[in-house]
Structure 1
Amino acid sequence: MRSIGEMARDSGLSVSALRFYDNAGVLVPAWVDPVSGYRWYEPGQLEEARLLACLRRAGMPLADIRLVLAGWSNADPDLVRGLLQAHLRRLERGLAEARSEFSTLRTLIDHRENPMTSLSTATVQLSVPASELAAALDSVRFAASTDPELPMLGGILFDIEGEHLHLVATDRYRMAVAQAPTLGYGGPRTQVVVPLPLADAMRALLTGDESVQVSVDGDRVRLETADRQAGGQSLGSDFPDYRRLVHLPAGRRARVDTSAFAEALRTGPVRASETREQDDEPRDLSVLRVTENGTVIVCDDGDDDQDNVAVNREFLLHALAAGARDELILELSAPTAPLAIRRIDDELTFSILMPVRLEN
């Protein structure tokens, strides 16, 4: 018998993936210890697990994976070949359609001028209270992307407009927005994307209550305190127009005790997701619902209410910590609409999480 750890090591599936496929009835262990709940697999199941890993990497839907494994165990190669061929045709058709759409998008991008999201080449200087800028950076840093294939998201947007500096970070699955007051700038809206290493270096200088100077000169950005400075080159890519993303449909609002809610998430039930986010591992999901009395509950496995909203648990815990308040407001709309985490005293500082579709 193989332990779940040995099966994960030899099959290419993670332990969390093996748990997910057990719960889904796709790859059920030969024996589960009734006391510890530990899973054990027969040697013959290793071949099935390796096949499952291949099918998963190929993006085959769970329903088809079940059929392939059934055909495999029943020694029905014709069924298996037919399912593989059908999936390959779907992938090829999808790729052809995607190429066509991307060709259209490139044409639109090449011909579209959008000064609202273009990086500024002007020279800008302004003052920002150090404590306010530090708090804003802390509120958005968690949502920045670390995906090397999306370098334009590997930084924090400094959006300067009038008397306000908006900071924005996103990795496509979540977005955080914060605001700090400014002095000394009355020019047009200016944007610069500060790469994460430089943003972290700036944050390290923000230790007092005095004002600091932020300057932008072409593709260079610099922060100066009384005796130190951090500066460097901004990212040479445009940042998404975040203002188009923050107009969410009206949802049900619930006030939560941040510490208690975070503990409920950490200790409450989770579900595994087939959705791939930034790596090839399933993610633990927390399924939420606002009750009639206005409280947010973490739903158990048997709760399939149509209004439930599933989100990445780790991302939600990060957002709660970044909210930096004893109480926060959660705003939930439809299961397909983003979840918003807002401050009670400052709704201009908030984050949103994309929901995750639950497998049937």
Structure 2
Amino acid sequence: MRSIGEMARDSGLGVSALRFYDRAGVLVPAWVDPVSGYRWYAPEQLDEARLLARLRRAGMPLADIRLVLAGWSSAETDLVRGLLQAHLRRLELGLSDARREFSTLRATLDHRENAMAVSSTATATATATATATAVRLSVPAPELAAALDAVRFAVGTDPDLPMLGGVLFDVEGDALRLVATDRYRMAVARTSAAGHDGPRVQAIVPAPLTDAMRALLSGDEAVGFIVDGARVTLDAGDRQAAGQYLAYDFPDYRRLVHLPSGRRALIDVPAFRRALETGPVRASAVREDEQRGGEMRGGEMRGGDVRGGDVREQEGASHGLSVLRVIADGTVTVCEDGDDGPNNVAVNRDYLLDALTAGGRDRLVLEIGAPTAPLAIRRTDDETAFSLLMPVRLDD
């Protein structure tokens, strides 16, 4: 007999997936300990589990998988072949439909680009006019340093998404907002600014230049932030950090920060950090083709799910998950493995720890909505500085 952990290791299905398939009646353990509830699997069930893993990777619905497993065990090869062939036809038809939709989307995009090209000269002229004379801001150095510290952790590193490889400096009126996102998390901070009363100006400062600017912010005096043509400069008196900003459009972050109200909990950051660092972590192996991660796409933040385990891959690396729940008295608890519930929310533990550090306070507000909605980490004294983290759905 194999324990559920051994079955997970040998079959490629995670522990949580095996529990789900048990509840769904797809792969039921040969024996369940009546006292502990622990699941045990017969040796012959290993082949079924491996078959199940392959079928799920191929995207076969559970209803068909049940029939395939039944036919497999009873050697009904005609049934199995028929189901496999029918699913393959569905995949081929789906791919054909997807190709048509993408062809239409490309044609639509080409049309939009052609239409935009008509006004590109006017747009370029307006942009050049806006930056023909340098935009110079006066920003308190401590405020700018705190804002950079609050967002730097969320800068993206994906070479295919260069527009996320820096911090957005968004100047509007007397406010300077700093924003960073890597699709799986986003951080926003605000600082006061003076010296600009013109149109809104945005510049994506690449991460290395951002770090060079942060190194100059050691004093209490105001510093100058300058946008001049394609260059940005931080002027800290006798020292400067300057370079070209990234010539890309940053996602419209304002569409992403209006979240449905969730359960808010005031957390003691040092105690909560200890609970996360010493508490249970979902750490079953997940292969890249068995998961869909949540991310920011198309102007919205979307949750993701994990198939076959509780580690998600983000930016090519695996990360452990902490499962959280807001209990009746308004406090947040880190759930034990197997402590499942409809209101539990799983989140990348390393990302959550980074967000707590970036919050820069001993007390923060943790806002948890639906299991698929982003988690918000806010300051108690300044809700204009906050982080959003994408959750991970643990159900199959």
TM over 0.5: yes
Alpha-carbon distance in structure 1 between the residues aligned to 2:64 and 2:205: 44
Distance across 2 between alignment mates of 1:146 and 1:54: 33
Unpaired runs of 5+ residues, structure 2, are 29-42, 294-312
Distance 1:69 1:202 in 2: 60
After TM superposition, give the deviation of residue 316 of structure 1 in Å.
1.7
1:152 pairs with 2:163: yes
Counterpart residue identity of residue 332, structure 2: V
**What per-residue deviation string (whole Å, max 9, x for no partner) do you get for residues 306-351 of structure 1?**
x333333222222111111111001122233222110011111101
Of 170, 176, 179, 1:165 maps to 176
Please point out which of 263, 267, 278 is paired with 1:252: 263
Question: Partner amino acid for 2:207?
Answer: L
Which stretch has the larger CA shift, 323-332 or 95-104?
95-104
Are 2:282 and 1:270 aligned?
Answer: yes
* Partners of 2:193 and 2:54 in 1: CA distance: 52
Pick the aligned partner of 1:128 from 135, 139, 144: 139
Deviations 1:282-325 (A, max 9, x none): 653333332222112233424222x3333332222221111111
SS of the residue aligned with 1:319?
helix
Q: 1:100 aligns with which of 104, 108, 115?
A: 104
Corresponding residue for 2:365? 329
Higher relative contact order (CA 8 A, sep 6+): 2
Amino acid at match of 1:93: D
Conservation of the 8 A alpha-carbon contact between 1:256 and 1:329: yes
Conservation of the 8 A alpha-carbon contact between 1:143 and 1:170:
yes
Match of 1:31 in 2: none
Match of 2:149 in 1: 138
User: 1:346 and 1:91 mapped to 2: Cα distance?
Assistant: 48
How far does residue 158 in structure 1 lie from its aligned partner after superposition?
Answer: 0.2
Question: Given the alignment, which residue of 354, 357, 373 partners 1:318?
Answer: 354
Shift in Å, 1:69 = 8.6
Relative to structure 1, the CA distance from residue 69 to residue 135 in structure 2 (aligned partners, 3 Å threshold; closer, same or farther) is: farther
Computing the radius of gyration from Cα coordinates, the structure with the larger value is 2
The residue type equivalent to 2:220 in the other structure is D
Distance in 1, Cα, partners of 2:167 & 2:180: 5
- Rounded to whole Å, the distance in 1 between the matches of 2:241 and 2:144 is 14
C-alpha spacing 1:128/1:339, structure 2 compared with 1 (3 Å): same
Q: 1:255: how far off?
A: 0.3
Contact 1:168–1:178 (Cα < 8 Å) also in 2 = yes
> Structure 2 CA distance, aligned partners of 1:284 and 1:137?
26
Which amino acid is the alignment partner of residue 168 of structure 1?
V
Q: 1:352 and 2:356 equivalent?
A: no
The separation in 1 between residues aligned to 2:145 and 2:67, in whole angstroms, is 53
Query: Aligned in 2, Cα 1:53/1:174: closer, same or farther, shift over 3 Å?
Result: farther
Which is worse superposed, 180-189 or 145-154?
Answer: 180-189
Cα offsets for 1:95-148 (capped at 9, x unmatched)? 433443465466557657999xx9775121112222221111111011111111
What count of residue pairs does the alignment treat as equivalent? 343
Kindly tell me: are residues 304 and 218 of structure 1, through their superposed partners in 2, closer, same or farther at Cα, counting changes over 3 Å? same
**1:233-260 CA-partner distances (Å, limit 9, x unpaired):** 1111111121121111222211011122
2:220 to 197, 209, 215: 209
For structure 1, the 5+ residue unaligned runs are 29-41
Q: How does 1:189-228 map to 2 (within 5 A)?
A: 189-228=200-239
Given the superposition, is the C-alpha separation of residues 63 and 149 from structure 1 closer, same or farther in structure 2, using an over 3 Å criterion?
A: farther
TM (normalized to structure 2)? 0.70
* Closer/same/farther in 2, CA of residues 181 and 335 from structure 1, 3 Å limit: same
* Inter-partner Cα distance in structure 2 for 1:186 and 1:244: 24
For 2:111 and 2:321, locate their aligned partners in 1 and report how far apart those are by CA, in whole Å.
38
Please give the per-residue CA displacement for 1:123-178, whole angstroms capped at 9, x wherever unaligned.
21112222221111111011111111111111110001122210000112211001
Q: CA RMSD in A?
A: 4.3
% identical equivalent positions: 50
1:89 matched residue in structure 2: 93
The TM-score normalised by the length of structure 1 is 0.77
CA contact (8 A) 1:55 1:65 kept: no
CA contact (8 A) 1:342 1:351 kept: yes
